[in-house]
Chains A and B, each alone.
Chain A
Amino acid sequence: MRLSRRQMLGTGLAGGMTGLLLPRLASAQPRRGGHITAASLSSSTADTLDPAKGALSTDYCRHAMFYNGLTDYDAQGQPYLCLAESLESRDQMTWRVVLRDHVKFHDGSSLSADDVVFSLLRLQDPASGSKVKPIASQMASVRAVSPRDVEIVLTSPNVDLPSILAQSHFYIIKAGTTDFSKANGTGPFRCQTFQAGVRTLGVRNEDYFREGRPYLDSLELIGIPDEVARVNALLSGDVHMIIAVNPRSTRRIRESGTHDLLITPSGLYTNLIMRRDGMPTGNPDFVLGMKHLFDRELVKRALFRDFATIGNDHPIPPFDPLYRADLPQRTLDLDKARYHFARVDLPSTPLPLYCSPAAEGSVDMASVLQEYGSKVGLKLAVNRMPADGYWSTHWMKHPLGFGNINPRPTADLVFSLFYKSTAAWNESGWQNERFDRLLLEARAQGDFALRKEIYGEMQAIVAAECGTAIPVFITLIDGFDKRVKGLRPIPLGGFMGYKFPEHVWWEG
């Protein structure tokens, strides 16, 4: 086991290496110097330099500029070591972190175990506004064994800790930091300017621990909420990278000749939620009926212009190594739908279906469902809610509504955050002991093949019983100036899973 762990981490490390090598293969020798401006989605006064509070793509990117995690993701979204020199565990319960030597914060102080302890423990404090409290709460204790040595004890075994630690919320900050008006991290760039809701400007961190990184002299990050404006800014050369391109704009960008697209198939999905505690949505037949009512092809083609991957009503995308291929693909089948709905006493009044721009594509999906529903005698009333306030007031609060789940680094995270019976965000509110048991099993299971088997069964259970319908996984599209090099997709998000800052260089 210990070996296998070693191996695993070895591969992780190797993955890391290949991850670092890949761009070199992809194109010529990276060039040092230059400045680029990247435009991310939104930016507001809520922008923060506090990794724990990171809420939006802009925040994740910003944090990737100034901080590092103990681990990082490679091209496959697999973890490899970053600030940690080694990360080992015998039982997946107790983990031993040895920190890299000679890592310096921007203020010159060097990285020590206390920083790690501080950074991880604060995530458990509700008052910190931590976005990952539930996950961080898995850590029963975090303590410094020696200046370079940290011990993390979990409440229950979890193979995926390395992946978890790679998320931006788990980035390491200087112990005792409370003032986040400026960033003091170990990251590739030093924070020169930060104006919430306006811009973030970073300059190369000369004594960054990774040799030769970053390539850019400086990197500016701004947010452009309006998609059309974002594309125009790219095409007019005012910015060099933009995130979240609308499929309908891809033609323009390609045709420009000077720009190109970064296509990232991801685990991002917008799903229909059918609450178990509501009627008729609690009725298994209703759930199956709805799942057969989805014209996945149409959704893929019309809504996402084919920038999407057909989903099978469970959160594991086909390109994920853990995907269970032999599970029959659900398709639009009005007869089956009719059959199931016939066994439900449908209300005579239209059933309200809640959607919102906040859940990408949900509004159009709703109107599609509405149309097909009318064909099988299911009356749906589409209630379009403003994006503002949707998550706090509507998400999971209506029998029938939409959710939108960002890619998570591991199957375990997705399942335990959104499908475990006791999960805070158990969207459909379903309960399945077998599923919960399998979840824990898989966590503790070191062997990949066996884990894949377990996860396979879980996928089947979710697809069959859980009150959630996942028509497609949305492909992420970024646009960039062809002179920006080193970009490659990382399935966890746009802009290389938001970690592009230290990977890209400028050839202009």
Chain B
Amino acid sequence: MTNAIRSWVKALSGSGRLGLVLVVFWLLIASIGPFLAPYDPGAFVAHDVFAGFTGAHPLGSDYLGRDVLSRLLSGARYSVGLALAAALLASLAGITLALLTAVSPRWLDEGISRFMDTLISIPSKIFSLVLVAVVGSSLPLLLLVASITYMPGSFRIARSLAVNLAQMDYVQVARCRGEGAAYIAIREILPNMIHPMLADFGLRFVFIVLLLSGLSFLGLGVQPPDADLGSLVRENISGLGEAAPAILMPAIAIATLTVGVNLLIDALTGRGRRMAGKE
């Protein structure tokens, strides 16, 4: 087992390994970060706002005099968890619908595609604005918004893949073996879509992290006192003028996270077949 992992890692390119390290690091932070936090992320512990690196506050204090390190540690799980979940949801939904269109009659295909166009063409941030105004901001809602926003994209890619795969001989073979649509979709087509979709997943993840931070800019994101990395940047943006760690650190965090995920996934798909044109 461990050998398997070791050889798997060995097979990765240099940048791939870097990506792996970053991803693992952030997954760790996301899972155990809150327990490492020296202070209660909500508590006003520092008298000075936008303090620099000090012994008491390794990453300084934020705009309310809260401990940046603690907030970072406990905020990571929103960015990582939420974005990961949303990206997964979006891709899964996209793939499922794509498979559906690949094996279903023309009109259903048309219908779904039109609906996707509808979703794409409504600007995501404004869409979220409306939804948040309707039901109020909450993690489930953000999850929903993010996945709905990026589902059409993965649907488009998945669909073009699925439609091509549906023409492959082995699918024809399955057809004239008398297989049902479900079997064809799940056992014959799906396995061959995974690789390209993985690469797409990486970019989607980045964009969701960004969408979330964009939403928090509009005051729609993760709600205080909690904060994901994006909202950490946002709420401390006034510290940018004085280059406060309170804003630099979250920004760096986001960058390393997103770049890490993509380096890793590029390395993975690079080993698998090159993916066809995305989106």
Contacts and interface: CB of A to CB of B under 8 A. Distances in A.
* A contacts B directly (C-beta below 8 A): yes
Interface of A: 227-228, 231, 246, 248-249, 251-252, 298, 302-303, 305, 357, 363-364, 367-368, 371, 382-389
B26 to A, nearest CB: 27
Contacts of A231: 238, 241
Interface residues of B, number: 24
Interface in B199-227: 219-220, 223-225
Nearest to A301: B47
Given A248-B50, A371-B43, A384-B223, 20 more contacts: A231-B238, A231-B241, A246-B238, A248-B63, A249-B238, A249-B241, A298-B44, A303-B64, A305-B49, A364-B224, A367-B42, A368-B44, A371-B42, A382-B225, A384-B136, A384-B224, A386-B219, A386-B220, A387-B219, A388-B133
Interface in B82-117: none
30 contacts: A228-B237, A228-B240, A231-B238, A231-B241, A246-B238, A248-B238, A248-B239, A249-B238, A249-B241, A251-B242, A252-B241, A252-B242, A298-B44, A302-B64, A305-B49, A357-B219, A364-B64, A367-B42, A367-B224, A368-B44, A371-B42, A371-B43, A383-B136, A384-B137, A384-B223, A386-B132, A386-B137, A386-B219, A386-B220, A389-B133
Interface of B: 42-44, 49-50, 63-65, 129, 132-133, 136-137, 219-220, 223-225, 237-242
Nearest to B242: A252
Contact of A385 (B42, B136, B239): B136
When A and B form their complex, which 9 residue pairs have the shortest distance between CB atoms, in order from nearest? A384-B223, A252-B241, A302-B44, A367-B225, A388-B133, A248-B238, A228-B237, A228-B238, A248-B63
A227 B236 CA distance: 12
B231 to A, nearest CB: 12
A249 B242 CA distance: 10
Contacts, number: 50
A367 B44 CA distance: 11
A481 to B, nearest CB: 17
Nearest to B218: A386
B44, B63, B137, B239: residue with the most chain A Cβ atoms closer than 10 Å: B44
A305 B63 CA distance: 10
Nearest to A388: B133
A12 to B, nearest CB: 41
Contacts of A386: 132-133, 136-137, 219-220
A248 B237 CA distance: 11
Nearest to B234: A228
Contacts of B132: 386
A228 B247 CA distance: 13
Contacts of B237: 228
Contacts of A252: 241-242
B65 A363 contact: no
A353 to B, nearest CB: 13
Contacts of B64: 302-303, 364
Contacts of A228: 237-238, 240
Nearest to B64: A302
A248 B43 contact: no
A384 B231 CA distance: 15
B151 to A, nearest CB: 24
Nearest to A357: B219
Contacts of A382: 225
B226 to A, nearest CB: 10
Contacts of A227: 238
Nearest to B129: A388
A302 B137 contact: no
Nearest to A363: B224
A363 B64 CA distance: 12
A228 B238 CA distance: 6
Contacts of A387: 219
Contacts of A303: 64
A367 B226 CA distance: 11
Nearest to A368: B44
B125 to A, nearest CB: 13
Contacts of A367: 42, 224-225
Nearest to B217: A226
A346 B153 CA distance: 50
A389 B134 CA distance: 9
A383 B44 CA distance: 20
Nearest to A383: B136
B230 to A, nearest CB: 15
Contacts of B44: 298, 302, 368
A453 B14 CA distance: 80
Contacts of A249: 238, 241
A227 B239 CA distance: 12
Nearest to B220: A386
Contacts of A246: 238
A36 to B, nearest CB: 23
A382 B223 CA distance: 10
A384 B216 CA distance: 13
A227, A246, A386: most-surrounded residue (chain B CB, <10 A): A386
